[in-house]
């Protein structure tokens, strides 16, 4: 008897390949193959989003419901016949079996619903079992919790002489670097970094590193960098003293490269590579002066002292190359060490507040479970789960973090060891969540790694069931072309092997628009093109809800939605409905700033101009702001009570009376005094008041605390509109993942590859050099590309650029694979350097020999609605 090893099935499912349908079919096969109607209790299906899990549940229920009828509808007939054929069943047998399964699911719906879940919810349910008998609640609002930590830390630190000095020193260091020196923001950044999953292992290493340890390390680094800088300075001085003693003139050396080299050492300009290729070339040949140099006396002096000069250069070079890597890391780490030194204090405060409020953060679920598994190897709750589940389905594997996979892997391997099965589905090209732990390389490693007790079956779902032929072909060609630009072979292979087969033949349309010469503001120009395109689509008999506009960020989305609404289009987007963008809300917030911070005069100026826009308060002059300068200056420096009287036109708003009122009552009074409520904006006003009410439960009744909370939440608070209305949808590319639309417009397909926000990295270091610390924290800077002397930093920066490029190409891929019938892109035509995604689109056309410098529009397929 041959025993076959268990098999882990891994499916590479590109966009539009019917991934959800595939999972549903495999789920149904297990259900209908089993003689037990409650087999669903032994199946665990984990998805990445709640929407995906709900869709999977609904599809499974709908199929079972259809199969339990005497007459199966046409759209379910193919699957019905397929199951009959595979399991050698009669129609009546399948009908009877489906009826029993449906009844069993409805009877135990809790089990069915719980077993098709998001990974986060599944993790939370496991962790809750660890705290059985204890009242623990889940805190979803991580930012609000961290803000509380920051406030407590600031209060404690400011009242401590020891910490006050550190905070002042940190602020001064940031100021010298030209960076933000707001202590609260810096503390929040460090606190946020501590709970991010990507930082779990480094933070785990250093969170018990005390303030005293950091202080010792800082002194070591300062001393070590000064010693090296002094040595370099001495080398520079030694060279110029040598010239003076030997009467050699600086200008005698060829191109003055050698004196310039030593001048850098003398002045301490050694952070960047001081070496010169031209200088190296001449020194290797022993050439110190030009053959056209006419001063024979100087030539003789140089030749006489040539050996000493070359020896000094080699000594300097050797000393520099031996120490520069450590010096470079030391200097970079010193920039962050002051703020990092309070990590231990933040950790104590974190646990103190968490224990006091009896909560766990949603962002720490994976970490808690991982540590539990590490401590106990196979916790008791896992034994229980291992017995309960035999079949595993894992969706969107490319978005799963390292910790999530480690937490689930133990269950999957246990099921395989006991004759169960597991199906994993993913697509590394749709990995767009690296910033929160998702890593496409994990999917690649899973495919390529070898396991001892089970085998792997790797398959690709090749057909695209979403898009019509021209769109599929365009994407095939585009990403084949882009694959050649990756320097990483891993990323190159992901796209090189991408080739989808067409399911919906004969149809589809792709349009590429390149913008080069535009007289107006670029965004305005793009909007005019978008508007014309929408009007043309409506003439083709598309309706508004057929059209989706995908943007890179909320700012672009807000601009477009505002313009479309002004032109009478109905728009459905959370971006356009952010309450912070409305004048009335801005007036309320600025008024709260004025009474909360009486000496924050800039907010007074903002409030005056906001009220003038509302035409409540008119600035004295009707010409320009500059003409009103004296008038405004007189206004803003008035005592707070007089200022309020002036801007409220002597309405009954007594500031002193309102300091003891609730923020809700103050907000209502502001709305009343300035007449902010009308039919046009009542939804925004009441949404804001609802936010105020909810915030009071979170942060209490302090105006200052409320304003801090508002700054954290203002980019998320919006009015929700039903998806059922006929409206153009505008959303970010991240939000569009998993969705599809008849027509997709991408108005700004030219975003920069390098992000504005700096990426944080942790580097392993020799603990003997860093006072026992084996990892240090740096922020990646663009000048890293100029570092020639440190292979580690250079490799690190190359990897960073490679990852960033992959992230951005994945974003483009997600955007261009959402459309069913038409895909229309607008892209600014920049230089030929690969700084933006437009370069890669243009490069594709060049490869196809289609590019023409005088042609700015390219078509694939026919521009028509597919009936």
| 8 Å CB contact between 431 and 440 | yes
pLDDT for position 627: 47
Q: Tell me the C-alpha to C-alpha distance, in Å, between residue 420 and each of 392, 411, 414, 415.
A: 8, 11, 8, 5
Domain co-membership, 116 together with 263: no
Tokens at residue 638, please? 């008035």
Could you tell me which residue, 491 or 649, shows the higher pLDDT?
A: 491
Q: 520 and 703 in contact (C-beta within 8 Å)?
A: no
- Does position 641 have pLDDT exceeding 70, yes or no? yes
Q: In the Cβ-directed half-sphere of 628, how many Cα atoms lie within 13 Å?
A: 15
In-domain check, residue 65: yes
Q: Residues 108, 220: one domain?
A: no
Residues 592 and 532 placed together within one structural domain of the fold: no
Residue 47 tokens, joined: 């998805």
What is the structure's pLDDT at 621? 42
- Closest Cα to residue 72, out of 56, 96, 91, 93? 91
Boundary-marking domain end, from 430, 461, 492: 461
> In the prediction, which pLDDT does 14 show?
93
- Is pLDDT at 713 greater than 50 in this prediction? yes
**pLDDT digits 0-9 by tens, 603-628:** 888 888 888 887 765 544 443 444 45
SS3 state at 781: coil
Kindly tell me if the per-residue pLDDT of 481 is higher than 70.
Answer: yes
* Residue 867 within any structural domain of the chain: no
Q: What is the pLDDT of residue 619?
A: 46
Q: Closest Cα partner for 258 from 185, 186, 308, 187?
A: 308
The answer to which of 99-113, 820-834, 839-853 has the lowest mean pLDDT is: 820-834
Beta bridge partners of 13: 461
Euclidean distance between CA atoms 197 and 368, whole angstroms: 11
> What CATH number should be reported for the domain holding residue 447?
3.40.50.300
* Nearest in space to 240 (alpha carbons), one of 223, 220, 221, 260: 260
Residue 813 contacts by C-beta under 8 Å, 6 or more apart in sequence?
A: 15, 429, 430, 475, 479
Whether the Cβ atoms of residue 139 and residue 361 lie closer than 8 Å to each other: yes
In this structure, is residue 780 part of a structural domain? yes
The band of 249, judged by pLDDT with boundaries at 50, 70 and 90, is: very high
Task: Provide the number of structural domains found in the chain.
Answer: 5
Q: pLDDT (tens digit, 9 = 90+) per residue, 36-59?
A: 999 999 999 999 888 899 999 999
CA atoms within 13 A on the CB side of 515: 21
Q: Burial, 865: exposed, middle or buried (Cβ in 10 Å; 0-12, 13-18, 19+)? A: middle
- Average pLDDT of 469-497? 92
Q: Are strands 7-13 and 455-461 parallel, antiparallel or unpaired?
A: parallel
- Has residue 160 been placed in a domain? yes
DSSP 148-215: HHHHHHHHHHHT-HHHHHHHHHHHHHHHHTT----HHHHHHHHHHHHH-GGGHHHHHHHTT--HHHHH
Whether 648 shows a pLDDT value over 70: the answer reads yes
Which of 461, 489, 506 is at the close of a domain? 461
DSSP letter string over 85-105?
A: HHHT--HHHHHHHHHHHHHHH
DSSP letter, residue 428: G
Q: What is the 3-state secondary structure (H, E, C) of 338-388?
A: HHHCCHHHHHHHHHHHHHHHCEEEHHHHHHHHHHHHHHHCCCHHHHHHHHH
Same-domain status, 170 and 240: yes
Q: How confident is the model at residue 833 (pLDDT cuts 50, 70, 90)?
A: low
Checking if the pLDDT of 273 tops 70, the result is yes
What local confidence, expressed as pLDDT, does residue 639 receive? 83
Q: What is the mean pLDDT of the chain?
A: 86
> From CA 434, how far away is CA 609, in angstroms rounded?
42
Q: Which of 313, 317, 316, 259 is nearest to 289 (CA)?
A: 259
Q: What does DSSP say about strands 455-461 and 421-426: parallel, antiparallel, or unpaired?
A: unpaired
What pLDDT, on the 0 to 100 scale, is given for residue 384?
79
> Does the pLDDT value for residue 109 go beyond 60?
yes
Closest CA to 823 of 737, 749, 736, 743: 743
- Same domain? For 679 and 605 the reply is yes
Question: Which pLDDT does position 9 carry in this prediction?
Answer: 93
- First vs last C-alpha separation in the chain: 57
Check residue 616 and give its pLDDT: 67
DSSP string, 520-568: S-HHHHHHHHHHHHHHHHHHTT--GGGEEEEESSHHHHHHHHHHHHHTT
| pLDDT tens-digit map of 534-552 | 999 999 999 999 999 999 9
Distance separating alpha carbons of residues 545 and 607, to the nearest angstrom? 38
- Per-residue exposure over 176-209, b if at least 16 CB sit within 10 Å of its own CB, e if not: eeeeeeebeebbbbbbbbbbebbbbebbeebeeb
Residue partners of 762: CB distance under 8 A and separation at least 6: 199, 202, 775, 776, 777, 778
Rank 468-482, 564-578, 707-721 by mean pLDDT and report only the highest: 468-482
Conformation bin of residue 635: beta by default, left when phi > 0, alpha when psi is -120 to 50: alpha
Least confident piece of the model among 118-127, 293-302, 633-642, 820-829: 633-642
Q: Cα–Cα–Cα angle for 531, 535, 537, nearest 5°?
A: 115
Q: Please provide the DSSP assignment of 643-695 as one string.
A: HHHHHTTT-S--HHHHTTS-HHHHHHHHHHHTT---TTTHHHHHHHHHHHHHH
Do 521 and 622 share a domain, yes or no?
A: no
Looking at the structure, do residues 117 and 176 belong to the same domain, yes or no? no
3-state secondary structure 728-768: EEEEEHHHHCCCCEEEEEECCCCCECCCCCCCEEEEECCCC
Same domain, yes or no: 558 and 642: no
Tens digit of each residue's pLDDT (9 = 90 or more) over 133-162: 677 888 878 888 888 888 888 877 777 666
Q: Which of 123-132, 291-300, 628-637 has the lowest mean pLDDT?
A: 628-637
Domain boundary among 293, 324, 357: 357
What integer is the mean pLDDT of 265-287? 87
Residue 549 shares a structural domain with residue 564: yes
The pLDDT of 456-481, averaged and rounded, is 94
Q: Each residue of 416-445: pLDDT tens digit? A: 988 889 999 999 999 988 877 888 888 888
Say whether pLDDT at 1 is over 50: no
Mean pLDDT confidence for 500-514: 93
Question: In this structure, is residue 466 part of a structural domain?
Answer: no
What share of the chain has pLDDT > 70, as a percent? 91
- 116 and 165 in a single domain? The answer is no
Domain hosting 566: range is 480-575+724-756+815-861
**Residue 467 maps to a domain:** no
Q: Is 616 exposed, middle or buried (0-12, 13-18, 19+ CB in 10 A)?
A: middle
Specify whether the backbone of 423 is left (phi greater than 0), alpha (psi in -120 to 50) or beta.
Answer: beta
Q: Is 287 inside a domain boundary?
A: yes
Percent of the chain residues past pLDDT 90, beyond the cut: 37
Residues in the chain: 867
What average pLDDT does the segment 64-82 reach?
84
Distance, in Å, from the CA atom of 418 to the CA atom of 529, rounded to the nearest integer, reads 60
Structure confidence by residue, pLDDT tens digits, 14-26: 999 989 889 998 9
Q: Which of 865, 840, 820, 845 is nearest to 15 (CA)?
A: 820
Q: Are 296 and 337 found together in one domain? A: yes
Q: Determine, yes or no, domain membership for 410.
A: yes
Residue with more model confidence, 71 or 396: 396
Between 647 and 327, name the one with better pLDDT: 327
The residue among 190 and 860 whose pLDDT is bigger is 860
Q: Which two tokens stand for residue 818?
A: 């959402």
Alpha-carbon gap, residue 422 to 45, rounded angstroms: 10
Q: What is the pTM of this model?
A: 0.85
Helix (H, G, I), strand (E, B) or coil at 425: strand
Q: Which of the four pLDDT bands, split at 50, 70 and 90, describes residue 570?
A: confident
Q: How confident is the model at residue 822 (pLDDT cuts 50, 70, 90)?
A: very high
CA distance 320 to 387: 62
- Within 10 A of 675 (CB to CB), how many other CB atoms are there? 11
Pair (187, 124) in one structural domain: no
Tell me what percent of the chain is helix, strand and coil, each rounded to the nearest 5.
60, 10, 30
């Amino acid at each position: 008897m041959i025993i076959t090893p268990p098999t882990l099935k891994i499916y590479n499912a590109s966009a539009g390949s019917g991934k959800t349908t595939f999972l549903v079919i495999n789920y149904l096969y297990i259900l209908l193959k089993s003689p037990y109607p409650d087999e669903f209790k032994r199946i665990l299906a984990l998805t990445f989003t709640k929407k995906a899990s709900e869709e999977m549940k609904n599809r499974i229920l709908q199929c079972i419901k259809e199969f339990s009828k005497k007459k199966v509808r046409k759209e379910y007939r193919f699957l019905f016949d397929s199951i009959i054929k595979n399991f050698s069943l009669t129609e009546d047998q399948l009908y009877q079996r489906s009826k029993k399964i449906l009844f069993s699911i409805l009877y135990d719906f809790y089990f069915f619903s719980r077993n098709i879940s998001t990974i986060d919810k599944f993790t939370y349910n496991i962790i809750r079992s660890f705290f059985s008998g204890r009242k623990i609640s889940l805190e979803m609002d991580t930012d609000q919790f961290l803000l509380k930590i920051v406030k407590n830390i600031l209060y404690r630190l400011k009242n401590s002489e020891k910490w006050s000095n550190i905070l002042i020193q940190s602020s001064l260091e940031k100021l010298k670097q030209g960076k933000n020196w707001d202590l609260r923001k810096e503390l929040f950044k460090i606190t946020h970094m501590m709970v991010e999953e990507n930082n779990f292992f480094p933070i785990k290493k250093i969170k018990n590193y005390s303030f005293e340890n950091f202080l010792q390390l800082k002194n070591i680094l300062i001393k070590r960098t000064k010693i090296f800088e002094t040595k370099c300075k001495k080398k520079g001085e030694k060279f110029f003293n040598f010239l003076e003693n030997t009467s050699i003139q600086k200008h005698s050396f060829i191109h003055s490269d050698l004196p310039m080299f030593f001048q850098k050492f003398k002045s301490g300009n050694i952070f960047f590579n001081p070496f010169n290729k031209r200088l190296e070339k001449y020194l290797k040949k022993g050439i110190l002066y030009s053959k056209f140099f006419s001063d024979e006396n100087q030539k003789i002096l140089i030749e006489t002292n040539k050996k000493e000069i070359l020896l000094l250069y080699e000594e300097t070079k050797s000393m520099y190359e031996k120490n520069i890597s450590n010096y470079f890391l030391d200097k970079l780490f010193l920039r962050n060490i002051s703020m990092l030194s309070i990590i231990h204090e933040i950790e104590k405060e974190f646990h103190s507040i968490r224990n006091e409020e009896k909560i766990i953060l949603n962002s720490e679920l994976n970490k808690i479970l991982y540590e539990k598994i590490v401590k106990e190897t196979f916790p008791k709750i896992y034994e229980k789960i291992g017995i309960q589940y035999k079949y595993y389905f894992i969706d969107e594997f490319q978005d799963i973090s390292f910790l999530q996979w480690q937490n689930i892997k133990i269950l999957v391997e246990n099921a395989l060891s006991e004759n169960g099965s597991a199906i994993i589905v993913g697509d590394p090209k749709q990995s767009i969540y690296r910033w929160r732990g998702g890593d496409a390389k994990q999917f690649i490693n899973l495919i390529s790694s070898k396991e001892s007790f089970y085998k792997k079956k790797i398959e690709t779902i090749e057909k695209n069931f979403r898009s019509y032929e021209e769109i599929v072909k365009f994407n095939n060609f585009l990403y084949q072309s882009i694959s050649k630009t990756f320097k990483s072979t891993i990323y190159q292979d992901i796209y090189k092997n991408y080739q989808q087969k067409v399911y919906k033949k004969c149809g589809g349309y792709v349009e590429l628009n390149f913008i080069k010469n535009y007289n107006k503001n670029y965004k305005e120009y793009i909007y005019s093109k978008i508007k014309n395109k929408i009007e043309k689509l409506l003439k083709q008999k598309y309706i508004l809800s057929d059209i989706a506009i995908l943007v890179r960020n909320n700012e672009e989305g807000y601009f477009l939605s505002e313009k479309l609404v002004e032109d009478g289009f109905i728009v459905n987007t959370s971006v356009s409905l952010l309450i912070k963008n409305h004048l009335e809300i801005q007036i309320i917030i600025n008024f709260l700033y004025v009474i909360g911070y009486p000496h924050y005069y800039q907010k007074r100026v903002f409030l005056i101009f906001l009220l003038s826009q509302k035409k409540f308060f008119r600035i004295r002059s009707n010409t320009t702001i500059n003409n009103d300068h004296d008038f405004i200056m007189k206004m803003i420096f008035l005592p707070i009570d007089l200022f309020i009287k002036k801007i409220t036109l002597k309405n009954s708003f007594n500031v002193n009376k309102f300091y003891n009122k609730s923020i809700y009552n103050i907000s209502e009074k502001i709305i009343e005094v300035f007449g902010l409520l009308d039919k046009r904006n009542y939804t925004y006003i009441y949404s804001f008041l609802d936010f105020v009410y909810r915030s009071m439960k979170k942060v209490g009744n302090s105006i200052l605390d409320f304003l801090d909370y508002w700054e954290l939440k203002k980019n998320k608070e919006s009015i929700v509109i039903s998806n059922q209305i006929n409206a153009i949808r505008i959303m970010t590319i991240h939000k569009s993942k998993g969705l599809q639309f008849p027509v997709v417009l991408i108005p700004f397909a030219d975003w920069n590859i390098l992000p504005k926000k700096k990426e944080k990295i942790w580097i392993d270091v020799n603990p003997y050099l860093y006072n026992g610390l084996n990892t240090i924290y740096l922020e990646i800077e663009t000048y890293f590309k100029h570092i020639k002397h440190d292979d580690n930093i250079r490799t690190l920066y190359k990897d960073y650029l490679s990852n960033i490029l992959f992230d951005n190409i994945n974003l483009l891929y997600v955007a261009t694979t959402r459309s069913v019938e038409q895909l229309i892109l607008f892209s600014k035509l920049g230089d030929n350097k690969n700084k933006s995604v437009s370069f890669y689109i243009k490069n594709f056309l060049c490869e196809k020999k289609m590019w023409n410098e005088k042609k700015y529009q390219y078509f694939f397929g026919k521009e028509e609605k597919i009936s």
